[in-house]
Amino acid sequence: MSTQQAAWQRLVEVHEPLAANRMKFAITLFEMSEYLGNYVKTKENVRRKLRETEQRYQRAIEESQQLLEKAKTKYDMQCAEWEKLLVRCGDSKQAETTAVPSVHSGNRSAKNAVSGIIFGKHKPTLESLDRICQEAGVKAKVANEAYKRLLQQTNAMRRDFYDVQQPKILASVMGLVEEVDQFLKFTLGKYAYTYESAVLADAITLKPMDAQVGMVEMVGDIDSKADLDSYVQAMATTARVDRASIPYREYRMSPRARLYANPRPIFGVSLHDQLTRDARRVPLIMVRCTEAVEAFGLQNEGIYRQSGQSSQVQRLRSEFDLDAEHVDLHASSYASDINNIASVLKMYLRELPGGLVPHAQRTTMLAHFSSESNSEDELELAQKISGLAANIREMPQVNRDTLRCLLVHLDKVQAFQEYNMMNSENLSIVFGPTILPPDNAPSNAALDIRRSARMVKFILDNRRAIFDAL
């Protein structure tokens, strides 16, 4: 029981024996009650407005949180749909590159039946799958932006309510409570004073001469602050408010979907760009392929001259373009036909933008072999070696390191020419046009092919002397 409630109870007990003699005093009480009633109505309206203000903010926050949950659900659904399409599109691309056309009509019919089951009446093309996947990605991004926007809006509303509006409301309530308490205390004091004056004859009853407390002292025992503290503590045990901001929860894709969403292509990408991106000195495909050939193909007859199976080569290309770090060429499915690995390495070198040997050095290097004569004295040999060394030295570091890696590997291949029939001349025929693509002019293409083959043969025969001169 609060101090105010206790005071009221004691005051009522005092009035019971005096009720019969208080008609005159009742008029005064009536006037005071009228004033007090009007005062209470006024303050009740203030209290109701404060309550309605708080409820309005609470409803706005609840509605915003409901919209946020809907936006989060839509964001999760869009991201899940994008993820499925990414996986489906990626798997379709990989399946397209590895599929081998069947010569039997029965197999084609079965394939068409399966395609019809999976994709419906019309099987979507890779382009349509890509477009659908991109549209799903855009929808996911739009949903993500809507989710973030609503999240920011909700958190802003919560911060505004808990940090600004609620403290204002509480301060207003506090002021109202203090004002009402003071008014009640003043009114009761006035009432006590008037009553004591009016019933002077009953002073003994109203103001005992002994140690008992009179009416004024009863009112004086009211401690509004203690009553408020007691009320706040009681409410604190029954109502808890979570004022922490709602955290952002990012959608987490599966590892396979992240792989399709962020590929690391190497085919058709310049040496500088891919080696800078991967923080390597030599392309990883060069390292993996040369290691595999040296492990399984040095004694394979016609290595690099014989082509691999087209579907398997395309499959290898797709895997290297997707994530070269996780391609295991020592697996039995790849090591069984080393020509597939050799072919994908040649394809990579052919598709390098600008070629392995930059155009700035290509013309100068081929000029050393403008003569068709193969006879040369020691002076001419030394001039060619020093000239080629100077040209290689002028190349960018990434081209020079990659060329050195390739020539060291081809030197190992020709060391086993007794078994693989690939001497420096045969290797130069294969890698000459690959390392130095011919001129676009048809009239010069044949001459460039012959000169590039002679140059590669010369470099292979004099590799150590050339690179020692760098």
Burial tier of 313 (Cβ tally within 10 Å: 0-12, 13-18, 19+)? buried
What tokens does 284 get? 């990883």
What pLDDT was estimated at residue 61?
92
Between the alpha carbon of residue 127 and those of residues 45, 118, 131, 286, the distances in Å are 68, 17, 6, 31
HSE value, Cβ hemisphere, 13 Å, CA-based, for 63: 6
What pLDDT was estimated at residue 115?
42
What pLDDT was estimated at residue 396?
93
Distance CA 250, CA 144 (A): 9
- For the chain, what percent of residues have pLDDT higher than 70? 86
397-449 pLDDT per residue, tens: 999 999 999 999 999 999 999 999 999 999 999 999 888 877 665 556 778 88
For 228, the 3-state DSSP assignment is helix
pLDDT at 113 over 50: no
147-198 pLDDT per residue, tens: 999 999 999 999 998 999 989 999 999 998 999 889 988 888 888 887 777 7
402-441 b/e with 16+ CB inside 10 Å = b?
A: bbbbbbebbbebbebeeebebbbebbbbbbbbbbbbbbee
Say if CB 466 and CB 441 are below 8 A apart: no
The runs of H, that is alpha helices, within 99-202 are 105-119, 126-159, 166-198
The residue ranking higher by pLDDT, 418 or 379, is 418
What pLDDT was estimated at residue 419?
93
The CATH architecture to which 263-468 belongs is: Orthogonal Bundle (1.10)
Distance CA 280, CA 461 (A): 28
Region 103-123: what's the mean pLDDT?
Answer: 44
pLDDT at 201 over 80: no
What pLDDT was estimated at residue 324?
85
pLDDT at 244 over 60: yes
Q: Which residues are CB-neighbours of 442 under 8 A, at least 6 positions away?
A: none
Is the whole-model pTM more than 0.75? Answer: no
pLDDT at 106 over 50: no
Indicate the residue type of 280.
Answer: R
The CATH architecture to which 3-100+111-236 belongs is: Up-down Bundle (1.20)
26-29, long-range: CB within 8 Å, 24+ apart, which pairs?
28/194, 28/198, 29/191
Give the per-residue SS3 of 11-75: HHHHHHHHHHHCHHHHHHHHHHHHHHHHHHHHHHHHHHHHHHHHHHHHHHHHHHHHHHHHHHHHH
For 368, the 3-state DSSP assignment is coil
Domain segments of the chain as ranges: 3-100+111-236, 263-468
